Amino acid sequence: MISVSHVPAVYVILILEVVMPNARNQLLTLVRRSKLFVPVNRDKFVAKAWTRGADVIILDLEDAIAPSDKNTARKLVKDVIPIVKKGGAEVQVRINRDNREIEEEDLSAIMVPGLDGVMIPKPESAEEIQRIDRLVTQLEMERGFPAGTIYFDIIVETALGVENIEGIAKASPRTAHMNIGQGDLSVSMGFPRFIELNFEQYFYAENRLLYAARAAKVQAHSLGAQNGVDFTDISMGEEAMLKACRHAQWMGFMGASIIHPGWVNACNEGFKPPQKDLDMARKVKAALDEAYAKGEGSVTVDGRMYDVANMKHVNYILERAEAIARREAEKAAALNAATGG
């Protein structure tokens, strides 16, 4: 069990605000488009996870683990992390939050070298996130982690969580991105699971997440509210997944959690600016730069007018594309090193 009683709250606040890097300052540069769930106790999935090309591997201690296997599963994390990181993916672990004892046991077991983030399911208040933040801060200090090493990935999965989502989003500077968990939210809301109703059922929650996350300067991750799209349907082909991810990216989402390795490439492609958008952004930027040099504030490109507001959007697209290119190069280098290529 972890005790935070000997860490005065004022010191924790100082650590968070002065020392710890703030994930909110990295909205565009964090590249975690594809987050692949891997049950930590399934050897065949663990062995191949690093070859899939995911930006993030989520080692699951929660829904993918039978209740009788929880204790054994958490002990595997320290040995599994080095395996799944070989291809350059970041690693986070989804913890259990059935009660505080289990939550603390999970955190104690997973805070080992190589961990990048903690996925926090089912929060319903800012206070819950702040409490976990204090626990992680203590463990970082005790185990020699640089302050702020571990980021949070939050899944809001209940009606109360949705209603408190703005406070949850702002509760900790560790929070890098947030998701809506449609499966558990359907239970909380009493929704029948018909993919023909996904848009109507989840539109409110998904769009509230988008605005709450952006206001808190963190990334929103999800496939969003789309009729006919079911993240649990592993028969969905790569083309359908690419279309769903593109739609989500156009809505403002910047990544998604997925359960099937066959969706990784589609997810990576779907959550990056399409080539035609990049080409147009570069064309508009060049034209606006030329106009500014002449003292002009707007320009016409291909029959449409562009001005300062458009330049901000163009720079957003280009900066995001550059961050993705860097991340893909990092993963390629790690994969080459791991395979001797």
Map residue 293 onto helix, strand or coil: helix
What pLDDT digit, counting tens, does each position of 53-106 carry?
999 999 999 989 999 999 999 999 999 999 999 999 999 999 999 899 999 999
Q: What are phi and psi of 37, to 5 degrees?
A: -70, 135
Chain centroid to CA 186: 21
The answer to whether residues 69 and 41 touch, using CB atoms and an 8 Å cutoff, is yes
Residue % of the chain over a pLDDT of 90: 82
What pLDDT digit, counting tens, does each position of 265-283 carry?
999 999 999 999 999 999 9
The answer to whether residues 37 and 60 touch, using CB atoms and an 8 Å cutoff, is yes
Query: How many residues does this entry show for the chain?
Result: 341
The pLDDT assigned to 232 comes to 79
The helix (H) or strand (E) run that includes residue 171 is none
pLDDT bin (cut points 50, 70, 90) of residue 295 is very high
The pLDDT assigned to 14 comes to 43
Query: Within 13 A of 205's CA, how many CA atoms are on the CB side?
Result: 30
The pLDDT assigned to 174 comes to 96
What pLDDT digit, counting tens, does each position of 17-54 carry?
444 456 656 788 899 999 999 999 999 999 999 999 99
- Strand 304-306 to strand 299-301: parallel, antiparallel, or no bridges (unpaired)? antiparallel
**Which residue has tokens 């990295």?**
26
The pLDDT assigned to 22 comes to 66
What pLDDT digit, counting tens, does each position of 246-263 carry?
999 999 999 999 999 999
Q: What are phi and psi of 262, to 5 degrees?
A: -70, -10
C-alpha 61/C-alpha 329 separation (Å) is 30
pTM: 0.90
What pLDDT digit, counting tens, does each position of 186-239 carry?
999 999 988 889 999 999 999 999 999 999 999 999 999 999 888 778 888 899
Q: How far are the Cα atoms of 53, 189, 225, 232 from residue 229, in angstroms, in the given order?
A: 23, 19, 8, 9
3-state helix, strand, coil in the chain (%, to 5): 55, 15, 35
The pLDDT assigned to 340 comes to 87
Mean pLDDT along residues 144-157: 95
Mean pLDDT along residues 311-320: 92
Mean of pLDDT over the chain:
91
Residue type for position 245: C
**Which residue has tokens 């040099």?**
293
